[in-house]
Chains A and B, each alone.
Chain A
Amino acid sequence: MIDFDYKKTENFLKCTFEGRMGADNAQELSKQIQDKIQEFSAEGLKVNFDLKDVDYIASSFIRICVITAKHLAAGSFSISKTNPMIKKVFKIAGLDEILNVS
């Protein structure tokens, strides 16, 4: 099971990840995230993934980001604090703007 930290303030859910976001347990992680979103479901909910301490992401994690963004209103999902290589991954995948990667 992959753990991630989360913090909810009003209608903002911040999820913080760490290390390698590989393919192992990706389904489980996806479910955990969706559960949290449902639990905190609120109108205008915004979700942010903090990747400050993430140094690798597999395609399964990119899918999780896309699925999460799809469950939210347009512009309500963002990814922050990427390291340059992770930023480039989203850039090459053509998802950096859609997923508001910074």
Chain B
Amino acid sequence: MDNAQQLADEMLGKASIAAAVFQELNQEETDKIIESVFKAGFNNRVRLAKMAYEETGLGVWQHKVIKNVIATQFVYENIKDEKTVGVISENKQTGITEIAQPLGPIFAIIPVTNPTSTVFNKILISLKTRNPIIISAHRNAVECCKETVRICYEAALAAGAPDDCIQIIEEHSRDLTHAIMTHSQLALILATGGTGLVHAAYSSGNPAIGVGPGNVPVFIDKSADIAFAVENVILSKTFDNGTICASEQSVVVEKSISKEVVKEFEKQGCYFLNNEEIKKLEPIAINMEKGSMNADIVGKSAYFIAQKAGIEVPENTRILIAPLNGIGKGFPLSGEVLAPILSFYSCNSYNDAIKTCIDLNYLGGIGHTASIYANNEKRISEFSHIMNAGRIVVNTPSAQGAVGGLYNTLPTSFTLGCGSGGKNITTENITAHNLINIQRVTRRRLNQKWFAFDVNEFLDESKDDAIIIAEYNKNT
């Protein structure tokens, strides 16, 4: 037996014992644990944000504090009153009682872009549902995640949680990750990361909720308040230097308002690139062979990226914007870049703009998030129906809107389901209720029609549906 398998066996062995003990706890005991973890996490929000920033070199530490607040305070507020233990609903009339049971050990994969916040989020929803959790951090975020786990675990133990309810892989190892993912004692994989990782999770043979990339188009309709829309797009795209996968990737407008939108972006500190500058930026932002973003510009500032590309921009530039006239092959910047870079499309008509959004949506981002700014209900409705996105955020900064809790009432989460388009089982923002098995105790309630009906009628081939259905429903 190799080392990775042996370690996986040990970790899952401990997690299974934790799962067994955990299921003895009642709702009150469980809620006390997550309250303790929330408080400990919240009180370390700044220190952990700074640690994450220093270790990963990505984003803006102040924004990482906000992410930690969202992942502790907002997630906690969101789930604290939810019933996740024992009987969660009882209907005397239908005779159905629902009982929540834990899933078992959960394996959580943490991205480098939102490390401590994602750890908080996944720990809180796992403990709320009495599931032990094993954390696997991105190799460039191991230390900050270890410290986050230590804080949460100590707080959980102090509040009566079972031993080993939270574990973390101490040293990043692909073999160990694979051994845990495929382990027979594992109940669920919560994977947030790149396409390859999510695919590996789904191929493991264990249930998985995997969330991969997005390519979020934002359509600014001519009915929109343009200054407001631009301000909100910037607020979202610059948040932690664009590291949230729900942040906008492309701005799409009709030609009739294009000049006004460009002017507003410029007024608010963004820089529009010319063709020559776009060519300089492409190989810096994108791995031209693979077509995916370059890791070394993820979460960096617009000025840093511009300098790296040899483009002169003011030091306080907030976003680099590349006007493009195509999508996909030949237009590398039309794909997802988790940095303050946007592509910009000026379209001849409303229909052309929507079709551009469809193309962007299908370029690696189906099922994720789409954004619209409009004060026209018909257009909001049309856009919403035609996009393939789990979240359509309206007049809202996309990154902060999609994670829920700040700008809307979506469940707060850093794990955003992308539906079948993203190879997910759900489009929901993943939260506690996604991590329970619901048993349905069903009492005898006779179907009166069935018992009043002569079932031999079904055997008579000469009778068609109209006759049988009429007879079945007779006198009701």
Contact = CB atoms under 8 A, between A and B. Distances in A.
Interface of A: 82-85, 87-88, 91, 102
Nearest to B421: A92
Contacts of A88: 358, 386
Contacts of B362: 91
A83 to B, nearest CB: 6
B55 to A, nearest CB: 41
A80 B436 CA distance: 49
Contacts of A84: 351, 354-355, 358, 382, 386
Contacts of A82: 355
Interface of B: 351, 354-355, 358-359, 362, 382, 386
A85 B385 CA distance: 9
A87 B388 CA distance: 13
A85 B357 CA distance: 12
Nearest to A87: B355
B287 to A, nearest CB: 22
Contacts of A83: 351
B238 to A, nearest CB: 30
Closest 8 CB pairs of A and B: A84-B354, A87-B355, A84-B386, A84-B355, A91-B362, A88-B358, A87-B358, A88-B386
B316 to A, nearest CB: 38
17 contacts: A82-B355, A83-B351, A84-B351, A84-B354, A84-B355, A84-B358, A84-B382, A84-B386, A85-B386, A87-B355, A87-B358, A88-B358, A88-B386, A91-B358, A91-B359, A91-B362, A102-B355
B122 to A, nearest CB: 33
A56 to B, nearest CB: 15
A64 B241 CA distance: 48
A88 B351 CA distance: 12
Nearest to B350: A84
B221 to A, nearest CB: 13
A85 B354 CA distance: 9
A49 to B, nearest CB: 16
Contacts of A87: 355, 358
Contacts of A85: 386
B422 to A, nearest CB: 15
Nearest to A97: B328
Contacts of A102: 355
Q: Which of A84, A85, A88 counts the most B-chain CB atoms under 10 A from its CB?
A: A84
Q: Which of B354, B355, B359, B382 counts the most A-chain CB atoms under 10 A from its CB?
A: B355
A85 B387 CA distance: 10
B144 to A, nearest CB: 40
Given A84-B358, A91-B362, A102-B355, 9 more contacts: A82-B355, A83-B351, A84-B351, A84-B382, A84-B386, A85-B386, A88-B358, A88-B386, A91-B358
Nearest to B385: A85
B277 to A, nearest CB: 28
Contacts of B358: 84, 87-88, 91
Nearest to B387: A88
A84 B359 CA distance: 10
A82 B355 CA distance: 9
A79 to B, nearest CB: 12
B99 to A, nearest CB: 39
Nearest to B386: A84
Contacts of B359: 91
A85 B351 CA distance: 10
B126 to A, nearest CB: 35
A26 to B, nearest CB: 25
B384 to A, nearest CB: 12
A87 B194 CA distance: 28
B363 to A, nearest CB: 10
A88 B366 CA distance: 12
A75 B103 CA distance: 52
Contacts of B386: 84-85, 88
A91 B351 CA distance: 15
Contacts of B351: 83-84
B421 to A, nearest CB: 10
B95 to A, nearest CB: 41
Nearest to A86: B355
A102 B351 CA distance: 11
A25 B448 CA distance: 48
A77 B351 CA distance: 22
A9 B7 CA distance: 72
